Structure 1
């Protein structure tokens, strides 16, 4: 199909650069620089989709990101299909293949349109009332059908073959919005030498200057000035320009999320390039120049294809050279629509009439329209439109009633005024304020280091906007630390200044009518729906929003929110500010999963962490388990051994002679500074001031509520230096916990915290022969019991490399933990392994480690605790300093509910049948014959077979457990009830004699 609605001499595109594309299988042509929307309009296509609920025919409403109707599917190949792409944003490329959505069997004949005839059944909130009965039907009938019907496009069914990337950036001044105001602010900031980033969602910078024709800047037309200014910025080393980049989220401390479309506009993109790039920018100052969004008029059948915003028609004409119709009507309540009519008339397009709701419109634009011979009907309203798949007429009448008149049109432009785009300002936690005079919400109280300029700040007129923005850009740079510079402020000459417009429904769509006057086009929300919501008790705008779904579509109510708010306020007979404003949340426009996830998928979905000894373990047949992101050796089976046989052998070998265990995944934090001991006193329950350098202590860390948060052995290396170990899973959160308190509660302490988890590889050598294994390799450390007793730490060398050698045990045997720089981890392991072989030592994995520690009653935080366990519950009162008066959690420990009788306490369990191994997590009851549901008094936290004990062993949290020693409890299972005897938590070497060999 050849383009028939291009106007020679209009627009900024080069006609010679022709592109081919298809829409619903029909071949068409466009021009390089077109959007899909402008190319469709150039081919006379207005019908592009169907609405969500009623399946009404819908056309192109806008020319930008606010588009609610023109959502299409884009398909490059079988693996690259994208639904719900806004045709107004998608740039045309040669071979583009687009498909309309939410229709069957075709766009022009959609069976789903029967919903429009049944619309009285689908009024606002019908789903809340309809799908309640019968109760059993929800899961079996309603939910499956609703889920099948939900959405507009079809989700891809193949993995995405494109790739995405992410970047972090810092700048002095971040300018969001590349219109005249944004460019002026960026120029002013850049001229100071500040680091500046300018971002805009369009392919080219210029914003509203794409359609503005009545202004000059620095003696040239606005668009040319914008392109020259952008070229100047691009030549500056301190400026980064990000076109095709949407700022979708404004977060704490001036962190802005931006999504850059890198290759979606290219016919044959380089597959080495990412499709999209996620930017996370931290800026010292942010300038918001996000403009304003034109509102539509609310009247009956205002959603027909061919009915669109006046600024959109002006954009299609002045930028793309496309006339949206041949006989166009205009319906307005402000001056800006006159500019569209004037531009179209001058381009040779017939203007059927301008219908102005105002009684006495006046001004230069009104007079110019009259001078061009355009019919102006003031004090009148469009009360409905005619047509099926495209608008064919508009019916007008005096706004106070009277005779109707029908005027043939093939397009209808509308403008109810302009709504400042305060979305990002609101996301920054800024508070908007309602301006009664202009009836719009404007930026009010600021929460972050940002400033709004231009139309988004309610500044009318190009000249005032540029002047305000230039001053704001210079000030933002100065506030960010840049030196003042003497730039040249752009000189603007412009006559256009928009009047206020209106909010809410127009005549013919009032409370007395039942017409479909649409507010939210995508979700089919009408003025009648808003009024119904209020009548049914929804008096908060948030409730109205959810009851009607107004503003909940992919466009997030950019054109509908203010109309819905005004109608609700009118119905409630309240001022608009009292009804409230819905919260603007990120993202500003939809962001793809690909952009958010970027590299984090497939093998990179969750990074895999491996210790320095991973390769050795793999070569020696280890079976691995995932512990968070770590790959840890689970057990080391020999030929013919299953897991149980391998673990039994490893457990016995460690206790009989020795074993080597890779403990590198333990969290390790270095606490350094003159006040290190004071800090440790405040973060842990134990006393630390008197701990001698070279000695270790088991430490318990609590939350403020008094519950156990983490544990680990802490070694004091010097008066001002501690080596803190944490659980593997707790490494990051303990570091965060420490930093949080140091920065917020104890900033007076001179302490520095460093995560050293990856710096040290840790090899635990455990068992009666452990000292014999390490002794030949250690230099500069006396390993005798007298010189290096249990729970001590020394620094020296092993195999010629530096080591922090701990004498400690998580097995109850004599044990050492060898810390060496991670680069030497495998070499030292291999040397220790060679020595170990002389003593018949084994390598053991995490399962054996669990069994050995359980035999000794050593807890694992997160397994034997569940976030509600105190030191007393776990039998660790001995680890709480009796003379300490302050530490994190000390007040929580004294809460009445935490010292009350009957709390769950950690105890041991022995099954009556020693061969039965309990299931971890199994519930415990006092009476197995009680009626169901039984009263549960506890649960099994750890359970293993112990070859060293010759029986099963278990740990459990049981209500009042320590008072039940020797008593019988029961573990009900699906096939039987298991009898257990409550015991102490230590099952092997109760006196701890083996710690010293």
Structure 2
């Protein structure tokens, strides 16, 4: 028999022995144990060390709200840290380690931090950041001197470096009613909804449904609570319209009654079945939600309240009733409400000695006095615990008389021998999901607790979450909520509050802190003390949000489940305000930590979709080297045997400039803009006019964001009076579509315009070069392509070998060029026909490297220059800013900062040492290879120019236009490239545009 295992009782399987390891020591437990209960049964009380002071810490709770007993689960080389031992189900071969200690848990050198307690008080990180300059360290600030040591000490458990071999999966579920929580209220809600014919999902974070009924002492409908719960679960399992999800934490409540949950499928198994996922992530969409999430017990704040052996009273009740584990042999109980008396009764019944119940209240209920009289050595009302005694385990406590009216102790302290102290500071309804889906929580003075807000979505609450702690009332509320949810007509919170049926008063005295000498902890994991909260107030952090961030109160892995209300109460007292005026931080997802694997599920590795153009197979068959450009796979070069990338794109560029070439432009974003107000809409979207554009013509357009910065550029073709085809850059196709849809949905809903993304419907090929017209003329039927029939920016329709095509004469290369569009299904056929028709003219296919080279030579901009920080003037496109109309961004584009002379402006760069340049390299006026500094801009793109026979690039440089003809240096320390450059105009080639108009 284990040292602390009761001889009988509990819901564990005493016939099945489980062997596991903790910190290298072998232990045994039973099926149904958690790691916490099994270790407690073996007499282990020291579980970990606190974050900041490395103080010894033991188990405080029995569930997901555990702040102290965090462990790392080890599976081969895979390590998963920061798991509450209270939530780990033991299995044969389980290996767990304690955290935040070195070299061992019992002898941790980090405990020396306690000697520097004053230096490590609230806000010490911020004060270190702003600390004084340290003279001997030659101007080093305090943070720079301390950063290494602080970062080494920070954190809790350490993750492993091995790849996680486990599989994770995603599920989507739809239901009429989702019930969260399977205590008495949740079971009844699920049953009532299911009996009404609704499709029901019941999610329970514990392994065994039943909630508090699993460790309750009371009878329900004439049978023990645990047996009643088991019977209710059995009835639900028999119903086809009910899905039970045990071991499932609903962690997020989002819009449209969409909730996120994680099911722990195999964490409790030593050998998962083949293909079985470790975690399953659920996205649940429900007509109505019933929140039966219960309540969490709170601790009291007093000196020494963090010593191992101090535990929440209801947690001890659960350990003895569910796991058959006694948390101590001589137990004292400290409370400000009646609920702790239930724990005293349960522990006494299991064989523990209850040495004293210390109650802050002088007057308690008759029911509480009756329990005390039957189980307690001493019943000290009007007293408080002012200290705990012992080392790494409680060995005794000190108590003093306490006056609630003045919230102060008096008289001489006296010592009581106890090896375990159970505390109860009242209950906090578990309103996290309700808060995520509603408004601000509501403070109820009688309960000294926050209750759920009024719903803004279709959800109802039942049970302890409503402030009612009566099991019979929870059953009644649950049944009513389930029936109402099945109707799916309305959602109202449950009744507030209801007195407990057994006459034990759940309403605590409004006392959370006992002021006495010594460290009194509010947030146990992050070592936030009551004095830290008061220090935050003295230093001006009076908002609860500032308090949270300055002290880190509530920012630990338990997210303030035990510390939130006591911390607010101390702040409220310090401010001299009631708690409702101080408020509370809003609860945000997740309710409990979620594994990254569950969030990613099957989406790991390179999860981007692979988009292939209609001509992709032709490119591969004809020797193209492809790379990813955004989501698309596009030809980089069509290399010949033995060619380098540079040799290939130089050859392709020369072929286009001297003859003719063909490039795949299917990836350009294409949006059909149609409707009676389409032209007016484009006038508002673009900086230049489109309502004056003639049918059968195209125009280059520029879009700004609302803040005046450039969003995108491209051409738009007018195909009919109310029919336009807009093209965008490949990278910004989705962004522009979202931008336009937002404007029509939100800003100008009155406009009669319809948008359709047609990027995938069109295949596109640009044929460029002095001989491009001749090739087209040889291939196209049904239309002429001479200068009169197809002038610059003109559009014609015809056929290529029977395939309908639309041709627009425009140029990105700077040469005479045409874009040929056809249906995606005809793409390869049209492409191959153009290539065959161009054989006599020396046509070559060319890739993005040659296309990029020609655009750099021409000075055209792309996404590298339209980087979200540049304006039209920065890119020398101010000639496109209409003065005749307003447009998106026009109100903000003339801000003083956007007109400054020293803004980064587009320029050309020529390498004077004729060595390659790299995009991203900095431009500096004075070269310092040992200490690179003084950047005046950066290269956005670079290439070897066949036209100039030099390495050139485009750059954004401060005061760029004024620097034309000046010398500077390229500074690229990562690639060790330094050298002289000349800053010139970005128009390297044919600035007059005579070649593309030829």
Same fold judged by TM-score > 0.5? yes
Encode CA deviations 1:125-151: one digit per residue, 9 max, x unaligned.
Answer: 445556735262656641111111112
TM-superposed CA distance for 1:736, in Å, is 0.9
Judge conservation of contact 1:505–1:527 (CA < 8 Å) in 2: no
Encode CA deviations 1:504-548: one digit per residue, 9 max, x unaligned.
Answer: 555xx41xx331222222122333333344344443344443443
Corresponding position of 1:152: 156
1:209 aligns with 2:216: no
Counterparts of 1:539-550 in structure 2, within 5 Å, are 539-550=542-553
1:111 aligns with 2:109: yes
Change (3 A) 1:413 1:783: same
Counterparts of 1:287-686 in structure 2, within 5 Å, are 287-371=290-374, 375-399=378-402, 400-402=409-411, 404-428=413-437, 430-444=439-453, 446-479=455-488, 494-495=501-502, 498-502=505-509, 505-506=512-513, 509-510=514-515, 513-604=516-607, 606-686=608-688
Q: Aligned partners of 2:927, 2:102: CA distance in 1, in Å?
A: 60
TM-superposed CA distance for 1:168, in Å, is 4.0
- TM-score norm. by structure 2 comes to 0.88
Judge conservation of contact 1:173–1:480 (CA < 8 Å) in 2: no
Q: Secondary structure at the match of 1:62?
A: coil
Q: Secondary structure at the match of 1:431?
A: coil
Encode CA deviations 1:403-462: one digit per residue, 9 max, x unaligned.
Answer: 544333332221111012232333346212322333222234555444444322323423
Q: Secondary structure at the match of 2:217?
A: coil
Corresponding position of 1:264: 267
Judge conservation of contact 2:255–2:437 (CA < 8 Å) in 1: yes
TM-superposed CA distance for 1:726, in Å, is 0.9
Encode CA deviations 1:323-354: one digit per residue, 9 max, x unaligned.
Answer: 22333222211111111111222233332222
TM-superposed CA distance for 1:727, in Å, is 0.7
TM-superposed CA distance for 1:794, in Å, is 5.3
Judge conservation of contact 1:460–1:497 (CA < 8 Å) in 2: no
Judge conservation of contact 1:759–1:822 (CA < 8 Å) in 2: yes
1:88 aligns with 2:94: no
Figure out how many residues of one structure are paired with residues of the other and give that number.
973
Q: Secondary structure at the match of 1:367?
A: helix
Corresponding position of 2:76: 77
Counterparts of 1:784-863 in structure 2, within 5 Å, are 785-793=787-795, 798=800, 803-822=805-824, 825-826=827-828, 828-860=830-862, 862-863=863-864
Encode CA deviations 1:737-774: one digit per residue, 9 max, x unaligned.
Answer: 01111111122334333333334343322223435545
Judge conservation of contact 2:4–2:326 (CA < 8 Å) in 1: yes
Encode CA deviations 1:274-321: one digit per residue, 9 max, x unaligned.
Answer: 322333344454443322110112223222222211111111222222
Change (3 A) 1:299 1:938: closer
Corresponding position of 2:405: none
Choose 791-800 or 179-188, whichever is displaced more. 791-800
Corresponding position of 1:35: 34
Q: Aligned partners of 2:529, 2:490: CA distance in 1, in Å?
A: 51
Change (3 A) 1:858 1:402: closer
Judge conservation of contact 1:928–1:970 (CA < 8 Å) in 2: no
TM-superposed CA distance for 1:694, in Å, is 4.2
Corresponding position of 2:55: 56
Judge conservation of contact 1:243–1:260 (CA < 8 Å) in 2: yes
Q: Secondary structure at the match of 1:744?
A: helix
Counterparts of 1:952-971 in structure 2, within 5 Å, are 955=954, 968-971=965-968
Choose 552-561 or 246-255, whichever is displaced more. 246-255
Corresponding position of 1:101: 99
Q: Aligned partners of 2:968, 2:896: CA distance in 1, in Å?
A: 30
Which of the numbers 745, 749, 764 marks the counterpart of 1:762? 764
Q: Aligned partners of 1:85, 1:20: CA distance in 2, in Å?
A: 19
Judge conservation of contact 1:925–1:969 (CA < 8 Å) in 2: no
Q: Aligned partners of 1:640, 1:764: CA distance in 2, in Å?
A: 27
Which of the numbers 239, 242, 245 marks the counterpart of 1:242? 245
Q: Secondary structure at the match of 2:555?
A: coil
Counterparts of 1:144-293 in structure 2, within 5 Å, are 144-216=148-220, 220-234=223-237, 236=239, 238-293=241-296
Change (3 A) 1:677 1:539: closer
Judge conservation of contact 2:696–2:795 (CA < 8 Å) in 1: yes
Q: Secondary structure at the match of 1:864?
A: coil
Encode CA deviations 1:250-279: one digit per residue, 9 max, x unaligned.
Answer: 344544332322221111113523322333
Judge conservation of contact 1:917–1:952 (CA < 8 Å) in 2: yes
Judge conservation of contact 2:905–2:959 (CA < 8 Å) in 1: no
Corresponding position of 1:47: 46
Judge conservation of contact 1:302–1:517 (CA < 8 Å) in 2: yes
Judge conservation of contact 1:215–1:492 (CA < 8 Å) in 2: no
Judge conservation of contact 2:499–2:505 (CA < 8 Å) in 1: no
Judge conservation of contact 1:304–1:390 (CA < 8 Å) in 2: yes
Q: Aligned partners of 2:274, 2:351: CA distance in 1, in Å?
A: 45
Q: Aligned partners of 2:490, 2:786: CA distance in 1, in Å?
A: 61
Change (3 A) 1:905 1:389: closer
Q: Aligned partners of 1:903, 1:672: CA distance in 2, in Å?
A: 42
TM-superposed CA distance for 1:933, in Å, is 12
Change (3 A) 1:376 1:713: same
Judge conservation of contact 2:357–2:372 (CA < 8 Å) in 1: no
Change (3 A) 1:451 1:798: farther
Change (3 A) 1:81 1:924: closer
Corresponding position of 2:9: 10
Change (3 A) 1:598 1:376: same
Judge conservation of contact 1:168–1:279 (CA < 8 Å) in 2: yes
1:888 aligns with 2:888: yes
Q: Aligned partners of 2:739, 2:969: CA distance in 1, in Å?
A: 39
Q: Aligned partners of 2:957, 2:158: CA distance in 1, in Å?
A: 52
Q: Aligned partners of 1:960, 1:47: CA distance in 2, in Å?
A: 65
TM-superposed CA distance for 1:691, in Å, is 4.2
Q: Aligned partners of 1:743, 1:200: CA distance in 2, in Å?
A: 40
Q: Aligned partners of 1:127, 1:603: CA distance in 2, in Å?
A: 37
Encode CA deviations 1:185-226: one digit per residue, 9 max, x unaligned.
Answer: 344444454554432322222222222232525x65444444
TM-superposed CA distance for 1:565, in Å, is 1.9
Judge conservation of contact 2:858–2:986 (CA < 8 Å) in 1: no
TM-superposed CA distance for 1:170, in Å, is 4.6
Q: Aligned partners of 1:122, 1:223: CA distance in 2, in Å?
A: 47
TM-superposed CA distance for 1:49, in Å, is 1.6
Choose 222-231 or 377-386, whichever is displaced more. 222-231
TM-superposed CA distance for 1:386, in Å, is 2.8
Q: Aligned partners of 2:761, 2:789: CA distance in 1, in Å?
A: 27
Q: Aligned partners of 2:285, 2:61: CA distance in 1, in Å?
A: 32
Encode CA deviations 1:455-499: one digit per residue, 9 max, x unaligned.
Answer: 2232342333343444444444544699x9xxxxxx999536542
- TM-score norm. by structure 1 comes to 0.88
Encode CA deviations 1:575-601: one digit per residue, 9 max, x unaligned.
Answer: 223333234333222222222333343
1:19 aligns with 2:22: no
Q: Secondary structure at the match of 2:28?
A: strand
Judge conservation of contact 1:164–1:277 (CA < 8 Å) in 2: yes
Q: Aligned partners of 2:16, 2:386: CA distance in 1, in Å?
A: 42
